[in-house]
Protein backbone atom coordinates (compact mmCIF):
# COMPACT_ATOMS: atom_id res chain seq x y z
CA UNK A 1 0.00 0.00 0.00
CA UNK A 2 1.31 3.43 -0.92
CA UNK A 3 2.02 5.98 1.80
CA UNK A 4 -0.63 8.26 0.32
CA UNK A 5 -3.31 5.56 0.44
CA UNK A 6 -2.32 4.50 3.95
CA UNK A 7 -2.52 8.12 5.08
CA UNK A 8 -5.95 8.46 3.50
CA UNK A 9 -7.25 5.41 5.37
CA UNK A 10 -5.77 6.68 8.64
CA UNK A 11 -7.55 10.00 8.14
CA UNK A 12 -10.92 8.25 7.83
CA UNK A 13 -10.31 6.05 10.90
CA UNK A 14 -12.16 8.28 13.35
CA UNK A 15 -11.94 7.80 17.10
CA UNK A 16 -15.09 7.55 19.19
CA UNK A 17 -14.16 9.65 22.21
CA UNK A 18 -16.84 8.08 24.39
CA UNK A 19 -18.12 11.57 25.18
CA UNK A 20 -21.86 12.05 24.94
CA UNK A 21 -24.01 15.12 25.33
CA UNK A 22 -27.05 15.14 23.11
CA UNK A 23 -24.68 14.22 20.27
CA UNK A 24 -22.14 11.53 19.39
CA UNK A 25 -18.58 12.85 19.39
CA UNK A 26 -15.70 11.63 17.19
CA UNK A 27 -12.25 12.97 16.38
CA UNK A 28 -10.05 12.61 13.33
CA UNK A 29 -6.71 13.88 12.04
CA UNK A 30 -6.13 16.33 9.21
CA UNK A 31 -3.92 15.65 6.22
CA UNK A 32 -1.02 18.00 5.63
CA UNK A 33 -1.68 20.42 2.76
CA UNK A 34 0.74 22.90 1.15
CA UNK A 35 -1.60 25.84 1.74
CA UNK A 36 -2.21 24.84 5.36
CA UNK A 37 -5.97 24.46 4.87
CA UNK A 38 -8.00 21.30 5.33
CA UNK A 39 -9.00 19.70 2.02
CA UNK A 40 -12.78 19.94 1.66
CA UNK A 41 -13.18 16.36 0.44
CA UNK A 42 -11.40 15.14 3.56
CA UNK A 43 -13.77 16.80 6.02
CA UNK A 44 -16.81 15.72 3.96
CA UNK A 45 -15.65 12.10 4.00
CA UNK A 46 -14.92 12.25 7.74
CA UNK A 47 -18.35 13.75 8.43
CA UNK A 48 -19.90 10.89 6.47
CA UNK A 49 -17.92 8.30 8.43
CA UNK A 50 -18.94 9.93 11.72
CA UNK A 51 -22.63 9.98 10.78
CA UNK A 52 -22.48 6.39 9.49
CA UNK A 53 -21.17 5.22 12.88
CA UNK A 54 -24.54 6.24 14.40
CA UNK A 55 -26.75 4.51 11.81
CA UNK A 56 -27.95 0.90 11.66
CA UNK A 57 -25.94 -1.35 9.34
CA UNK A 58 -28.93 -1.95 7.04
CA UNK A 59 -29.02 1.75 6.00
CA UNK A 60 -26.64 3.31 3.49
CA UNK A 61 -26.11 7.00 2.77
CA UNK A 62 -27.99 8.27 -0.27
CA UNK A 63 -27.52 12.04 0.06
CA UNK A 64 -25.26 14.62 1.68
CA UNK A 65 -25.61 18.40 1.74
CA UNK A 66 -22.73 20.27 3.33
CA UNK A 67 -21.67 23.88 3.83
CA UNK A 68 -18.06 24.87 4.34
CA UNK A 69 -18.20 27.57 7.03
CA UNK A 70 -14.55 28.38 7.74
CA UNK A 71 -11.14 27.34 6.42
CA UNK A 72 -9.84 24.38 8.41
CA UNK A 73 -6.34 24.17 9.89
CA UNK A 74 -4.55 21.19 8.30
CA UNK A 75 -2.16 20.97 11.26
CA UNK A 76 -4.92 20.32 13.81
CA UNK A 77 -7.33 17.47 14.55
CA UNK A 78 -11.05 17.86 13.87
CA UNK A 79 -13.93 17.08 16.24
CA UNK A 80 -17.19 15.79 14.76
CA UNK A 81 -20.53 16.07 16.54
CA UNK A 82 -23.40 13.99 15.15
CA UNK A 83 -26.99 14.85 15.99
CA UNK A 84 -29.42 11.93 15.57
CA UNK A 85 -32.17 14.02 14.04
CA UNK A 86 -34.58 11.29 12.92
CA UNK A 87 -34.87 7.51 12.62
CA UNK A 88 -37.82 6.44 10.48
CA UNK A 89 -38.98 3.11 9.11
CA UNK A 90 -36.95 3.51 5.89
CA UNK A 91 -34.93 6.72 6.25
CA UNK A 92 -32.50 8.03 8.84
CA UNK A 93 -31.34 11.65 9.04
CA UNK A 94 -28.20 12.94 10.72
CA UNK A 95 -26.56 16.33 11.13
CA UNK A 96 -22.77 16.24 11.33
CA UNK A 97 -20.75 19.29 12.32
CA UNK A 98 -16.97 19.54 12.20
CA UNK A 99 -15.21 21.75 14.76
CA UNK A 100 -11.74 23.18 15.26
CA UNK A 101 -10.87 25.49 18.15
CA UNK A 102 -14.48 25.39 19.31
CA UNK A 103 -16.03 26.77 16.12
CA UNK A 104 -17.66 24.87 13.23
CA UNK A 105 -15.82 24.57 9.92
CA UNK A 106 -18.42 22.33 8.22
CA UNK A 107 -22.12 21.68 8.74
CA UNK A 108 -23.75 18.80 6.87
CA UNK A 109 -27.07 16.99 6.70
CA UNK A 110 -26.98 13.36 5.60
CA UNK A 111 -29.78 10.92 4.81
CA UNK A 112 -29.60 7.12 4.92
CA UNK A 113 -32.04 4.54 3.57
CA UNK A 114 -32.74 0.84 3.82
CA UNK A 115 -32.32 -1.15 0.59
CA UNK A 116 -35.50 -0.80 -1.47
CA UNK A 117 -36.81 -1.38 -4.99
CA UNK A 118 -38.68 0.99 -7.26
CA UNK A 119 -38.69 2.80 -10.59
CA UNK A 120 -35.29 3.00 -12.22
CA UNK A 121 -33.67 4.97 -15.05
CA UNK A 122 -30.51 7.00 -15.61
CA UNK A 123 -28.76 9.41 -17.96
CA UNK A 124 -26.47 7.31 -20.11
CA UNK A 125 -22.70 7.41 -19.78
CA UNK A 126 -20.75 9.09 -22.62
CA UNK A 127 -19.16 6.49 -24.88
CA UNK A 128 -16.94 8.71 -27.06
CA UNK A 129 -14.21 9.42 -24.49
CA UNK A 130 -10.73 7.87 -24.27
CA UNK A 131 -10.25 5.28 -21.55
CA UNK A 132 -7.94 5.75 -18.57
CA UNK A 133 -5.17 3.62 -20.12
CA UNK A 134 -4.96 6.13 -23.00
CA UNK A 135 -4.35 9.12 -20.72
CA UNK A 136 -1.41 10.27 -18.56
CA UNK A 137 -1.70 10.12 -14.79
CA UNK A 138 -1.19 13.09 -12.50
CA UNK A 139 2.12 11.55 -11.43
CA UNK A 140 3.34 11.51 -15.03
CA UNK A 141 2.28 15.11 -15.60
CA UNK A 142 3.46 16.62 -12.31
CA UNK A 143 6.33 14.53 -10.94
CA UNK A 144 9.06 16.54 -12.72
CA UNK A 145 7.76 19.89 -11.40
CA UNK A 146 9.71 21.26 -8.42
CA UNK A 147 6.89 23.02 -6.57
CA UNK A 148 5.27 22.08 -3.24
CA UNK A 149 1.75 21.94 -4.67
CA UNK A 150 2.87 19.86 -7.65
CA UNK A 151 4.76 17.47 -5.35
CA UNK A 152 1.70 17.09 -3.13
CA UNK A 153 -0.66 16.48 -6.04
CA UNK A 154 1.74 14.02 -7.68
CA UNK A 155 2.86 12.04 -4.64
CA UNK A 156 0.51 12.58 -1.69
CA UNK A 157 -2.93 12.17 -3.18
CA UNK A 158 -4.52 8.77 -2.66
CA UNK A 159 -6.27 8.82 -6.05
CA UNK A 160 -5.14 8.48 -9.64
CA UNK A 161 -6.84 11.12 -11.82
CA UNK A 162 -6.68 11.31 -15.60
CA UNK A 163 -8.28 14.24 -17.41
CA UNK A 164 -10.27 14.36 -20.64
CA UNK A 165 -9.28 16.24 -22.75
CA UNK A 166 -6.24 17.34 -20.69
CA UNK A 167 -5.41 18.66 -17.22
CA UNK A 168 -5.32 22.38 -16.49
CA UNK A 169 -2.49 22.37 -13.97
CA UNK A 170 -0.30 24.82 -15.91
CA UNK A 171 -2.41 26.07 -18.83
CA UNK A 172 -5.76 25.58 -20.52
CA UNK A 173 -5.36 24.02 -23.96
CA UNK A 174 -8.04 23.62 -26.61
CA UNK A 175 -11.57 24.98 -26.59
CA UNK A 176 -12.76 27.05 -23.63
CA UNK A 177 -15.65 24.77 -22.76
CA UNK A 178 -17.31 24.58 -19.35
CA UNK A 179 -17.08 20.81 -19.24
CA UNK A 180 -14.57 18.00 -18.84
CA UNK A 181 -14.28 14.43 -17.62
CA UNK A 182 -11.86 12.79 -15.21
CA UNK A 183 -11.15 9.10 -14.68
CA UNK A 184 -10.60 8.42 -10.97
CA UNK A 185 -9.71 5.47 -8.75
CA UNK A 186 -7.74 4.96 -5.54
CA UNK A 187 -4.04 4.14 -5.90
CA UNK A 188 -4.56 0.66 -4.50
CA UNK A 189 -7.12 -1.78 -3.17
CA UNK A 190 -9.41 -0.52 -0.42
CA UNK A 191 -10.92 -2.67 2.34
CA UNK A 192 -14.19 -4.46 1.55
CA UNK A 193 -16.28 -1.94 3.46
CA UNK A 194 -19.06 -0.35 1.34
CA UNK A 195 -19.30 2.65 3.67
CA UNK A 196 -15.58 3.32 3.21
CA UNK A 197 -15.99 3.24 -0.57
CA UNK A 198 -18.86 5.73 -0.36
CA UNK A 199 -16.72 7.99 1.83
CA UNK A 200 -13.82 7.64 -0.61
CA UNK A 201 -16.12 8.73 -3.42
CA UNK A 202 -17.22 11.94 -1.71
CA UNK A 203 -13.58 12.59 -0.81
CA UNK A 204 -12.40 12.32 -4.42
CA UNK A 205 -15.43 14.17 -5.80
CA UNK A 206 -14.08 17.46 -4.42
CA UNK A 207 -10.72 17.38 -6.24
CA UNK A 208 -11.73 18.64 -9.69
CA UNK A 209 -15.41 19.58 -9.56
CA UNK A 210 -14.81 23.34 -10.04
CA UNK A 211 -12.37 22.91 -12.93
CA UNK A 212 -15.08 23.35 -15.62
CA UNK A 213 -15.54 26.91 -14.33
CA UNK A 214 -11.80 27.50 -14.70
CA UNK A 215 -11.58 25.78 -18.09
CA UNK A 216 -14.36 27.92 -19.54
CA UNK A 217 -12.39 31.09 -18.73
CA UNK A 218 -8.89 29.82 -19.51
CA UNK A 219 -7.83 29.86 -15.85
CA UNK A 220 -5.24 27.26 -14.84
CA UNK A 221 -4.25 26.19 -11.32
CA UNK A 222 -0.89 27.89 -11.87
CA UNK A 223 -2.43 31.34 -12.27
CA UNK A 224 -0.99 33.41 -9.39
CA UNK A 225 -4.07 35.60 -8.84
CA UNK A 226 -6.49 32.66 -8.58
CA UNK A 227 -8.42 32.44 -5.31
CA UNK A 228 -10.75 29.50 -4.84
CA UNK A 229 -12.75 28.02 -2.00
CA UNK A 230 -15.58 25.49 -1.87
CA UNK A 231 -18.77 27.01 -0.45
CA UNK A 232 -21.12 24.03 -0.42
CA UNK A 233 -21.16 20.47 -1.69
CA UNK A 234 -24.04 18.08 -2.37
CA UNK A 235 -23.85 14.44 -3.36
CA UNK A 236 -26.40 11.75 -4.13
CA UNK A 237 -25.43 8.06 -4.21
CA UNK A 238 -27.63 6.16 -6.68
CA UNK A 239 -25.88 2.79 -6.86
CA UNK A 240 -22.87 1.19 -5.20
CA UNK A 241 -19.46 0.98 -6.83
CA UNK A 242 -15.96 0.42 -5.52
CA UNK A 243 -13.70 3.47 -5.39
CA UNK A 244 -10.63 1.33 -6.17
CA UNK A 245 -11.92 0.58 -9.67
CA UNK A 246 -11.97 3.10 -12.53
CA UNK A 247 -14.88 5.55 -12.43
CA UNK A 248 -15.71 8.23 -15.00
CA UNK A 249 -16.50 11.62 -13.46
CA UNK A 250 -18.17 13.93 -16.01
CA UNK A 251 -18.34 17.59 -14.98
CA UNK A 252 -19.93 20.78 -16.30
CA UNK A 253 -20.60 24.33 -15.16
CA UNK A 254 -23.95 25.90 -16.07
CA UNK A 255 -23.16 29.30 -14.57
CA UNK A 256 -20.56 31.59 -13.01
CA UNK A 257 -21.36 35.02 -11.59
CA UNK A 258 -20.72 37.25 -8.59
CA UNK A 259 -17.35 35.64 -7.90
CA UNK A 260 -19.00 32.21 -7.61
CA UNK A 261 -19.14 29.25 -9.96
CA UNK A 262 -21.56 26.32 -9.99
CA UNK A 263 -20.47 22.89 -11.16
CA UNK A 264 -22.38 19.64 -11.64
CA UNK A 265 -20.97 16.15 -11.90
CA UNK A 266 -21.98 12.57 -12.64
CA UNK A 267 -19.95 9.49 -11.73
CA UNK A 268 -20.22 6.27 -13.75
CA UNK A 269 -18.60 2.87 -13.38
CA UNK A 270 -17.01 0.96 -16.26
CA UNK A 271 -20.28 -0.84 -16.88
CA UNK A 272 -21.99 2.49 -17.60
CA UNK A 273 -24.07 2.58 -14.42
CA UNK A 274 -24.67 6.03 -12.93
CA UNK A 275 -23.19 5.74 -9.44
CA UNK A 276 -23.56 9.25 -8.03
CA UNK A 277 -24.40 12.86 -8.83
CA UNK A 278 -22.55 15.88 -7.43
CA UNK A 279 -23.17 19.62 -7.20
CA UNK A 280 -20.88 22.27 -5.79
CA UNK A 281 -20.74 26.04 -5.68
CA UNK A 282 -17.40 27.66 -5.02
CA UNK A 283 -15.77 31.03 -4.82
CA UNK A 284 -13.68 31.57 -7.94
CA UNK A 285 -11.89 34.93 -8.16
CA UNK A 286 -9.27 36.28 -10.53
CA UNK A 287 -8.23 39.83 -11.26
CA UNK A 288 -9.99 41.44 -14.22
Q: What's the CA gap between 64 and 87, in Å, rounded?
A: 16
Active site residue: 206, 251, 252, 277, which one?
Answer: 206
Active site residue: 186, 205, 251, 280, which one?
Answer: 280
Query: Is 122 in the active site?
Result: no
SS (H, E, C) the chain: CCHHHHHHHHHCCCEEEEEECCCEEEEECCCCCCCCECCHHHHHHHHHHHHHCCCCCCEEEEEEEEEECCCCECCCCEEEEEEEEEECCCEEEEEEEEEECCEEEEEEEEEEEECCCCCCCCCCCCCCCCCHHHCCCHHHHHCCCCCHHHHHHHHCCCEEEEEECCCCCCCCCCCCCCEEEEEEEECCCCCCCHHHHHHHHHHHHCCCCCHHHHHHCCCCCCCCCCEEEEEEEEEEECCCCCCCCCEEEEEEEEEEECCEEEEEEEEEECCCCEEEEEEEEEEEECCC
109 pairs with which residues across the strands?
A: 65, 95
Query: Is 206 in the active site?
Result: yes
Active site residue: 46, 100, 186, 230, which one?
Answer: 230
Catalytic residues: 206, 230, 280
Amino acid sequence: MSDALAGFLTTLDLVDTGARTTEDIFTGPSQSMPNGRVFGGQVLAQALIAATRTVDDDRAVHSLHGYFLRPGDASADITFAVDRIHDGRSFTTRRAQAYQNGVPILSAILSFQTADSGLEHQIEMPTDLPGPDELPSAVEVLSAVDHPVARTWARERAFDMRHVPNPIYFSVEGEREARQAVWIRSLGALPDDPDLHRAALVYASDYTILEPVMRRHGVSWARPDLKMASLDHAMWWHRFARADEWLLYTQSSPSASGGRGLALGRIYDLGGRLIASVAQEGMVRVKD
